[in-house]
Every structure is written in structure tokens, then in C-alpha cells.
Amino acid sequence: MKLRRINAVARKEFLHVLRDSRSLGMAIAIPMLMLVLFGYALTLDVDRVPLLVWDQSGTQASRDFVSLFTGSRYFSLRGHADNYREIEREIDEGRAMVALVIPRTFAAGVETNRAERVQMLVDASDANTATIALGYASGIVRSYGQNLALAEIHRTGGRSIDMPLDVRPRVWFNADMQSKNFIVPGLIAVIMMVIAAMLTSLTIAREWERGTMEQLVSTPVSGPELVLGKLLPYFAIGMFDMLLAVLMGEFLFHIPLRGSLVLLTSVSSVFLAGVLAMGILISIVAKNQLLASQMAMTLTFLPAFLLSGLMIPISNMPPVIQWITYVVPARYFVTLLRGIYLKGVGLEVLAVEVLLLSVFGVLMVVLAIARFKKKLA
């Protein structure tokens, strides 16, 4: 294996990418576009839940109670209703998700310290959002009830009651509890896997389709030299994409990078090398650009998006699916990025993921080299 030959193949492939605006656009523009679109579109935050109010009491007490909902960032008042039929229509048409029904006796119940029932109707078509919205509403109602009880105690001159538990939460790693801090690092892993595999999945197949493989076979370039030469230009482009993704995470999404930049670069290079070699392996097996691109999309996007823990926690998956996730390299890279970004941990915590990702990278490179045969048939 001679570096001069590897450099010649790499230079040829790099010039091809520079002269092919479509390949260059796929290599740089598409990852950035995907990161922006998915970064803003994918969110687990439940804010501004559309709220409809039927205030049958119409008193100052009921208005104060409603103001606790409308003054919160979790609910957005969309209007008032006068009957259940109107509530049903608004929920059916999707203009409201939660309806608050306050009885006529609400103010009297508050003044006499009598337990008063307030009805809340929730559209549970989206069960996850409905559960979170109910949790927000329950917290508001519970806080309102506690304040009323304390006010009644002070009014009657009674002894203050100490709560049996005093919970003082302290949030680690994501103090603002914003889902983008959790999602964007995982998105970087998924996008890099898909784009890297898509790029190199066309390299060898393109040589076969254009008839230039015969010329390469007739040269002294060996199989390993050809594979590594094809891989190097895309590795440089992939690392440039990774740099842009890190900068976008820092300045566009304001994701804190608490860990080591050196460790982030190292694990990214290992992951990228493995995924690029995987794409070359697909290209060698397929020998057809259309088939190669379809195989690359199937083997990268779906597993990386669904089985990496990006959106769905792996612990919530069925046991059989959890076992399958162990062969998805994006699972380890997502864990590494989140650990480095949010927790600032190093190899003392992430050593197993780094080891498994290294095994994947070496295995893909070895398989790609072993699978390529320098012959026409």
C-alpha cells in the first residue's frame, strides 16, 4: 500500500466532488438544512396549549382562577364558550385542546372554604401531550387550593400548618428543561450518519455505471488503496460538516458544550470513518447508484432515527427491539454526543460507547476493503 496512490485516488475523487455541484450541495448544504428544519420542528416541549374557558360563575374569584392558566406559558386562551356543544365543536375542529368549565357556585365555594369541583375536558388524541397538559393543569389547581387554605388559616387566626414534605428540586444538565438541548446533539448524529452513507454509497457504483472501473482496474492501484482513496475526501467533507453542526449548535440553537472538544472531535472522526466505509461497502455490493442510495437510506435513516434513542428512550422499547438497537452505531454516537454536550463527562463514563464505536469503524473499513475485488466480473 503506497500513500502516493492513495493520494492520487483521493485527489481524483475530491476534484469530482468539487466539480459536481449536486454532490457538493448534498455534502454541505443538505446537512445544515436538515439540522435547521429538524432542530426547530422536532420538540418535546408542551407550551401554549390552546385553552377554552366556560366561566359560568363570572365572578372575580373565577377570573382570578382563570388568570392562573392564561398567565402561564403552558396555556394559551383561545376563547370563551357558553355551552358544551360549543366546547365539543371547538375541540373537534382542533382549535382547542383543553376546556375549563367553572361552575356557578365557584365563588361561593371559595368564600365558604367548601370543596368545589372544576371540570377539565381534554382532547387526548395525542396522549403524550394530553398527559403533560393535565399535569400542568393539576399543578395550577393544587397551588390555587393550597393558597386558599393558607389564606383561610390566616383569616381565622389559626395555627399555620407545616407541609409534611418540602421538595426543593434541582435540575442538572438541562436547567431550562428545553427539549432542543436534548434533541439537537442526537440530530447531529443521525444526520451525519445518513449523509455520510449516502455520499459514499454512490462512489464505487458510479465507477461501474460510467464504465470507468475498467480504467481503475488496469492501474497499479490496489483494492485497499482505492477504498481508502475514495474515503478520504468524504472524510474531510464530513468533518467540515461536523464543524458547521457544532457551530450551529453553539450560535444558532445555543446548546451548551460542557465536555471536551478534543473528545468530541475524536469520537466524531471514528464514527464518520465507520459510516463512510459502510457506504462504500454498500456501493461495492450494489454496483448501481439507485440501488445503492436506496440501501443506504434504508440501512441508515430508519435505524438511526427510530432505534438510536433520539426521540424514543430505548428503555421504553420492547426487549426484542432493545437488543436490535445494539447493532445500530448511531445509538452509541447519540449517547456520546449527549454525554459530552450536556453532562461534560469523559472516557471514564463513556469508555464502553467509545470502544463499541471504534469496533464498528474498524469492522466497516475492513469489510469494505475485503469485499472489493479488483476484477471486472
Sequential DSSP letters for 268-317: HHHHHHHHHHHHHHHHHHH-SHHHHHHHHHHHHHHHHHHHSSSSS-GGGS
Beta bridge partners of 101: 54, 119
Residue 225 pLDDT = 86
Express each pLDDT in 112-154 by its tens digit: 777 678 899 999 888 888 888 888 888 888 888 877 777 766 7
Residues 6 or more apart from 182 whose CB is under 8 A from it? 44, 174, 338, 342
Q: Walk me through the domains of the chain, giving residue ranges and CATH numbers.
A: 3-43+178-371 (no CATH), 49-156 (3.40.1710.10)
> What confidence score (pLDDT) does residue 376 get?
57
Would you say residue 6 has pLDDT above 80?
Answer: yes
Q: Which of 167 and 108 is assigned the larger pLDDT?
A: 108
| Sign of the torsion angle spanned by Cα atoms 356, 357, 363, 366 | negative
Q: Is the pLDDT of residue 247 over 80?
A: yes
pLDDT for residue 125: 86
**Quick one: what percent of the chain has pLDDT higher than 70?**
93
Q: Which residue has the cell 400542568?
A: 136
Partnered with residue 77 across adjacent β-strands are: 51
Count Cβ atoms below 10 Å from residue 375 Cβ, excluding itself. 8
Q: Whole-prediction pTM value?
A: 0.81
List, edge to edge, every strand of the sheet that includes 49-55: 75-80, 49-55, 98-102, 119-122
- Which of these, 71, 58, 166, 154, lies nearest to 113 by C-alpha position? 154
The residue with greater pLDDT, 44 or 306, is 306
CA separation (Å) from 87 to 56, 66, 95, 233? 13, 16, 10, 60
| H-only helix segments in the chain | 3-19, 21-24, 30-41, 60-70, 84-92, 106-111, 127-156, 179-200, 203-210, 213-218, 223-251, 261-286, 289-307, 319-324, 329-338, 347-371
Cβ–Cβ under 8 Å, residues 273 and 361: yes
Q: Which three cell numbers stand for residue 364?
A: 466497516
What the block records as the C-alpha cell of 205 is 457504483
Give me the pLDDT at residue 169, please: 77
pLDDT, average across residues 30-41: 83
| Per-residue pLDDT tens digits for 253-298 | 888 889 999 999 999 999 999 999 999 999 888 888 888 888 888 8
CA-CA distance, 106 to 358, in Å (whole number)? 64
98-102 and 49-55 beta bridge pairing: parallel
d(CA 54, CA 66): 10
| For residue 377, pLDDT beyond 60 | no
Mean pLDDT of the chain: 85
Q: What is the DSSP letter of 116?
A: -
197 close to 231: Cβ distance less than 8 angstroms:
no
